[in-house]
Structure 1
Amino acid sequence: MTIPADQAPVAALLRRLAGADPVETHISAVFVGPDTVWKLKKAVRLGFLDFSALADRERFARRELALNQPHAPGLYRDVVPVTHAADGSLSLDGEGEVVDWVLRMAPVPPGDFLDNVARRGGLTPALLDETADAVFALHQAAVPAPPGFDAPAAVGRVLAGNIRDCNATGLPPAEVAALGAAMQARLDSLAPHLAGRAAEGRVRRCHGDLHLGNLCLWEGRPTPFDALEFDEALATTDIGYDIAFLLMDLCQFGQRAAATRVMNRYLARGGDFGLLPALGFWMALRAMVRAHVEARRGGDGHRYLRAASDFLRPVPPRLVAIGGLQGTGKTWLARALAPELGAAPGALHLRTDETRKRRAGVAPEARLPEQAYAEAESQAVHAEIMAAARLALAAGQSVVLDAVFLDPALRQAAEAAAAPHPFTGIWLAAPLDLLRARVAARSAEGRDASDATVAVLERAARADPGAIGWAVLDAAAPLPAARGMLALGPGDRA
């Protein structure tokens, strides 16, 4: 990659200021200094953008600042002119004619970009939850598309562009054609659903390029940055398509369990289960984007074409319900099984504790008062997770239900929700002394969605659950037995 000749003097100035050569893409050059980063937009005209005019480079630099600064305060600083003085010298924000514009940012250590965090195995559960929360907050703040927005047509244009770009970068024409036809058929079937989501306000001015490399640790928190600034139409999309890039990227990094966790945390925060019918399609479309981008870079774009086909391929869904007293490890087992079940990125994990918090309008770890556990509210919580399970199964996504399930009627409701798909019920059991210790420790930590105390456990232990028709597993080591029941091994993920 090269910087246009007319911008060579500006690049030389920025190289001196940074003390290093730039990191280049086909549209920008980023000069990273010890305490400042300067981003120069290349004066190029490509099929999808035009930075050739000075006024446009200023406009897009300011747009990039406006889009990203609210979510990354301090990371994005300002936009300054490069000026040409009468003596022929160039300077930043000096006297004389403006010859270019640069965006000033703070430097981020290379190891703090989430793609590098993933490479070193640093995507902890807490970091994944915080990442999902950051994306959820970004989408909550995003401006909805105007009324009448034609979502199916917009997605159709994106698909057509990706087919064209895959062909232009030399990817196998027959595979591109077959994938394109399959994608178009899926889009045709999804069109009414996508239009309905637009009418609900699910289409918004999103980030637009939300892969792992465009998330970093800033002031200790995962932070989205580098939102797509040069194409409002491309960035105005369904929030499900926006997060699908992150989920696809995690899967391609070999981090399917991380993708499952991010998906489930995101859905636990907002309850947007309506994104599930299109999720495989959206992940496939994001894989097509990455296929031609990688091919243009000289990388292995073909593997992303294969991934796109895999994301489209239906996998028969199933429902697994996990019950037992507080402290038996229902959530731990659900999270272990969910990545191994069904279509990518894994099973929908529906937890009553998280559903109750969402209904109350608070974060999963917030504490709720006793009245939030009144019988009427508990019935509403269970009705909601059953409805979400049915929706997910109809969309082709497997489900793991995670609840105490003391009431036999609730266990029957779980089995009924699965029909006509396969159902497996698991009941976890452990000595009461062990459960007391676990619940007491969890309550002391205060970092879990469960509000259960030892007193709550004691009351539940005195209740009669009736005959348990589900498989009863030792809560001390349930995973191997559960995998055996589901005919799953560590490598059996679909």
Structure 2
Amino acid sequence: MSIPGEQAEVAALLRRLAGRDPIETHISAVYVGTDTVWKLKKAVALGFLDFSTPAAREHFLRREWEINHPAAPALYRDVVPVTRAADGTLALGGAGEAVDWVLRMAPVPAGNFLDAVAARGGLDGALLDAIADAAFALHAALPPVTGIDPVAALDRVLSGNVAAAHAAGLPAARVEALDAAARGWLERLAPHLAARAAAGHVRRCHGDLHLGNLCLLEGRVTPFDALEFDEDLATIDTGYDLAFLLMDLDHRVGRAAANRVLNRSIARSGDAGMVAALPLWLSIRAMIRAHVLARTQGPAAGLPYLDRAEAMLAPPPPRLVAVGGLQGTGKSRLARALAPSLGAAPGALVLRSDEIRKRRAGLAPEERLPPAAYTPEASRAVFEELAALAAAALRGGHAVIADAAFLRPEERAAIEAARGEAPFTGLWLEAPVEVLRARVAARRGDASDAGVAVLEAAAARDHGPLAWQRLDAAGDPLPGALAALGLNAGAPC
């Protein structure tokens, strides 16, 4: 990569200010100094963008600041001109004529970018939850955009993918077969995508939401570098925006990481309807990465992502698993362990009654509700929503794990009825009360508010006839659960 000759003087100035060579892409040069970062857009016209004039570069730098500053105010400082003085010298923000423009940003340690954190194995559960929360907050702050045809927009993306994949030298027959399969999915999903647009899920999103565009800044996961040069590519369904992050996690870190972010995101948003379109969205995102890598690094570099794009469009059929039992039996731990191995990528949707209850109250999962919030009426509404969300996800072709106590026969009957045509397995966890008492007393930072008194009262009740598979939860119930479901550990089914 190189900087266009017409920007050589500007590049030299920024090189002196930073004291080092820039980090380059095909469209930008980023100069990282001790306490400031300067971003220069290259004077290039590539068909899908045109930065060839100073006026265009100013416009898109200001647009970049405008889009990114709300989510990352500590990172995005300002846009300043590179000016030429009467003696011909260049300066930042001087009194002379503006010959170019730069975006000033705060520096971020290289190890704080989340692709780097992932590479060193640093994405633990708490950080994955924080990633999901950051994506949720980003999307929740965006207003819906009307007048967008999401089907036509994705059709254009598919056409662009085919052309780019052929130009990059990916196997032609596989590219054409993948395109045909994707268009079949798009046709089937058209009513669903249109309904989501009408419901307000299309927004001016990030557009390039992957691990490399998330960083740790002031202790928070912070999205940055949102796509600024193409409004159409960024005005999309929030689920399609999230799908890039899920695909990136699935590929770089593993399915369990992607599954955790998916489920945390839906626990916050309640948008379980997005899972119906995930196979298509994930495949498109993988295909984009495939042809980009094939173009920049050679066709072989894109093949792993082409493999992934194909696999996303051939998901296993949906199934419903319910995990019940008294407080402290480890229902949520088991559900989370099972989910990555169940159903379409990135694994089953886990619907947890405690998280639904918190969302209905406008709270994050770990925030506590007062005892007065646990009325019979509130509990009925939670279980009704759980069953409705499960039924909708199953109809959309996605596997579901329903995680709740299910202490009443009518609650178990309702979740079983949500199965529709999908296979159902009920798992019932049990352990001695003294074991459960110790676990409940030790819980911290969990979505469940149930204490020892709630456990004691629940244990004393008659739970009615129980036909679900009983598992000993005094130890690890995962092997028994896998056997009951016919799964091998880590193998999607």
Give the secondary structure class of the aligned counterpart of 2:103. Answer: strand
Residues 405-416 of structure 1: pairs in structure 2 closer than 5 A: 405-416=406-417
**In 1, Cα distance between the equivalents of 2:289 and 2:30?**
21
Deviation of residue 86 (structure 1)?
2.0
SS at match of 2:427: strand
Moved more, 391-400 or 240-249: 391-400
SS in 1 for 2:264: helix
Match of residue 304 from structure 2: 303
- Aligned equivalent of 1:223: 222
Looking at structure 1, the residues matched to 193 and 421 of structure 2 have their Cα atoms a distance apart, in angstroms, of 26
Partner of 2:43: 43
For residues 171-216 of structure 1, the C-alpha deviation after alignment (integer angstroms, 9 at most, x for no partner) is 1111111111111111111111111111111100000000110011
**In structure 1, the residue corresponding to 2:2 is in which secondary structure?**
coil
1:96 and 2:84 correspond: no
Q: Distance in 1 between matches of 2:233 and 2:359?
A: 31
Q: Secondary structure at the match of 2:101?
A: strand
User: What SS does the corresponding residue of 1:451 show, helix, strand or coil?
Assistant: coil
**Which residue in 2 is equivalent to 1:193?**
192
Partner of 1:460: 458
Q: Unaligned stretches of 5+ in structure 1?
A: none
Within 2, Cα distance between the matches of 1:100 and 1:90?
Answer: 10
- What does 1:65-84 correspond to in 2, within 5 Å? 65-84=65-84
| Total equivalences in the alignment | 490
Aligned partner of residue 99 in structure 2, secondary structure? strand
Aligned counterparts of 1:18 and 1:490: Cα–Cα separation in 2:
50
User: What SS does the corresponding residue of 2:102 show, helix, strand or coil?
Assistant: strand
**Which residue does 1:382 correspond to in 2?**
383
Match of 1:268 in 2: 267
Q: Give 1:114's aligned amino acid.
A: L
Q: CA separation in 2, counterparts of 1:128 and 1:314? A: 24
| SS of equivalent to 1:249 | helix
Q: Which moved more, 1:82-91 or 1:172-181?
A: 82-91
Deviations 1:224-260 (A, max 9, x none): 1000111111110000100000001111114211110
Code of the residue aligned with 1:467 in structure 2: it is: P
1:411-430 matched pairs, under 5 angstroms: 411-430=412-431
Task: State the AA in 2 paired with 1:4.
Answer: P
TM-score (norm: length of structure 1)? 0.97
* 8 Å Cα contact 2:210-2:248 kept in structure 1: yes
Amino acid aligned to 2:73 = P
Tell me the distance in 2 between the aligned counterparts of 1:297 and 1:490.
36
- Secondary structure at the aligned position of 1:418 is classed as coil
TM-score normalised by the chain length of structure 2: 0.97
Q: Which amino acid aligns with 1:181?
A: A
Q: Which one-letter code corresponds to 2:168 in the other structure?
A: T
Q: Structure 1: how far apart are the matches of 2:228 and 2:397?
A: 34
Residue 9 of structure 1 deviates from its aligned partner by 1.2
CA distance in 1, matches of 2:419, 2:198: 29
**What's the secondary structure of 1:183's corresponding residue?**
helix
Q: Which runs of 5+ in 2 are unaligned?
A: none
Question: What are the Cα deviations for residues 291-322 of structure 1, in whole angstroms up to 9, with x where unaligned?
Answer: 11111221511211111111111311111111
Query: In structure 1, the residue corresponding to 2:140 is in which secondary structure?
Result: helix
Q: In the alignment, residue 180 of structure 2 is paired with which amino acid?
A: A
* Residue 352 (structure 1) aligns with: 353
Provide the residue aligned with 2:471 in structure 1. Answer: 473
Rounded Cα–Cα distance in structure 2 between residues aligned with 1:144 and 1:163:
30
Q: For residues 11 and 261 of structure 1, what CA distance do their matches in structure 2 show?
A: 43
- Give the aligned partner of residue 205 of structure 2: 206
Distance 2:9 2:295 in 1: 27
1:314 equivalent in alignment to 2:312: no
CA distance in 1, matches of 2:272, 2:420: 19
Q: What residue number does 1:329 align with?
A: 330
CA distance in 1, matches of 2:68, 2:58: 16
| SS of match in other structure, 2:347 | coil
Let me know the Cα RMSD of the aligned residues.
Answer: 1.2
Q: In the alignment, what sits opposite 2:395?
A: 394
* Distance in 2 separating the partners of 1:406 and 1:185: 43
